[in-house]
Structure 1
Amino acid sequence: MINTIIFDLGAVLIDWNPEYLYRKIFSDEQEMRDFLSTICTPAWNEEQDAGRTLAEGTEILIAQHPEHEESIRAYYGRWEEMLNGTIEGTVDIFKKLKASGRYKIYALTNWSTETFEIAKQKFELLNWFDGLVVSGEEKIRKPFPKFYQILLDRYHVKPEEALFIDDNLRNVEAARKLGIPSIHFTSPRQLADALPEFGVEV
């Protein structure tokens, strides 16, 4: 019986995408995609999510790619331009789950402490959770099992009674290995259709 919902944040509830910024910087779409796949990569960003400072991460990358210094500095210097508000369909689901009173609702997110401070000022929904576990604060991130375990232990959640929702299949598979039922999120509509499969009614 599911009594706990655990949401990822970026690309599930909050519309965050580096392409929103870099389309302003690169006139060529393929050049932008190459930059984000080979220089300011998700793996590099995840090091900041796991606790490395933005300044350190930026300087390490500039030392490796000095010819791209301006574009690299933009990643965190203009980070807010990667935000495009909330994903309203998912927010609606969140509100209905919370209003039902049947579920504790938590967030488990890979997010730099520094940029999360900006997000907290912008998004009221970050105050709606019963608890949040942020990788930058814990100095560990998804998909490492210890990160999931922090949430389970801190809030006394039984894995089999929780439902985890994340857009990254790698993170979903890691949760499943810990015995946490999980949904690989692709859209609000798909999420609404999937929830009843776990006995969760919206």
Structure 2
Amino acid sequence: MIKTLIFDFGDVFINLDKEGAMNNALNLFEVETFPEELIAINSLYEQGLISSEEFIEFYVENFPKLSKESILDAWNYILRDFPTHRLEFLKTLAKTDVYKLILLSNTNELHIDWIKDKVEFYDDFKTQFHEFYLSHEINLRKPNANIYEFVLLENNLKPEECLFIDDTKENTDSASKLGIHTWNINPITEDVVNLFTINNHLF
């Protein structure tokens, strides 16, 4: 029996443009593929292991033709709209008080600052959850197993009583190995508001 619902943020609640953001970055940085060094620095930043200032400074030093503003715009390009019907679904779910609700997101300070500025109901969204874990605040990142172990331990959860919803298969695969039920949601064809219809075999 499922007692805890663990949600990703991007492409579950807020829409993302991953492909557009990648193409925009490749054009801006004038590279054909994203170098390993940039992937590594992005990962460090997402885990809160370097500050926003250090992160931006790294890009400025490596791409001196670019301004801080253009780098920041490229970094936030991925973030799109947050449909209000998903907030309403979450609020209805929270009111039932049947499930423990947890958010578990790979994100960073610059993205959250953008969301706080652009999404007027962010605080309302956040308060619907019993726990709200952002990778840069807990210094852990999906798909590493230790982030799921952290959530299970912190909340005294049994993995077989949890359902984890994430759009990235690598993340749901990692959680599944620990015995957590998963829904690898397809943001193009599926919507989190249909959670119980699509996963009715678990409830």
User: Is this contact kept in 1: 2:5–2:163, CA < 8 A?
Assistant: yes
**Which residue among 111, 120, 133 is the counterpart of 2:107?**
111
User: Is this contact kept in 2: 1:113–1:134, CA < 8 A?
Assistant: no
Question: Counting helix residues as a fraction of each chain, which structure ranks higher?
Answer: 1
User: What RMSD, in angstroms, separates the aligned Cα atoms of the two structures?
Assistant: 3.4
What is the Cα deviation at residue 81 of structure 1? 5.9
Distance in 1, matches of 2:127 and 2:29, equals 34
User: Is this contact kept in 2: 1:8–1:107, CA < 8 A?
Assistant: yes
User: Is this contact kept in 1: 2:29–2:63, CA < 8 A?
Assistant: no
Distance in 2, matches of 1:18 and 1:96, equals 29
What is the Cα deviation at residue 197 of structure 1? 2.6
Q: Identify the residue that residue 45 of structure 2 maps to in structure 1.
A: 48
Offset from partner CA, 1:119-177 (integer Å, 9 cap, x none): 34631312211111111111121111111122111122211100000111111111111
Q: 1:77 to 1:53 in 2, by over 3 A?
A: farther
Moved more, 113-122 or 126-135: 113-122
Q: 1:153 to 1:53 in 2, by over 3 A?
A: same
Offset from partner CA, 1:19-62 (integer Å, 9 cap, x none): 77799xx6xx9846976952696664332111122222222233
Distance in 2, matches of 1:61 and 1:79, equals 11
TM-score by length of 1: 0.76
Distance in 2, matches of 1:33 and 1:95, equals 41
Q: 1:186 to 1:93 in 2, by over 3 A?
A: farther
Distance in 1, matches of 2:128 and 2:191, equals 23
Determine if the alignment matches structure 1 residue 150 to structure 2 residue 162.
Answer: no
Q: 1:170 to 1:54 in 2, by over 3 A?
A: same
What is the Cα deviation at residue 112 of structure 1? 1.3
Q: Identify the residue that residue 196 of structure 1 maps to in structure 2.
A: 200
Determine if the alignment matches structure 1 residue 3 to structure 2 residue 7.
Answer: no
Determine if the alignment matches structure 1 residue 58 to structure 2 residue 62.
Answer: no
* Stretches of structure 2 lacking an aligned partner (at least 5 in a row): none
Amino acid at match of 2:64: P
* Stretches of structure 1 lacking an aligned partner (at least 5 in a row): none
Determine if the alignment matches structure 1 residue 86 to structure 2 residue 89.
Answer: no
Q: 1:185 to 1:91 in 2, by over 3 A?
A: farther
Amino acid at match of 2:45: Q
Amino acid at match of 1:151: V
User: Is this contact kept in 2: 1:160–1:180, CA < 8 A?
Assistant: yes
What is the Cα deviation at residue 75 of structure 1? 3.9
Distance in 2, matches of 1:7 and 1:117, equals 20
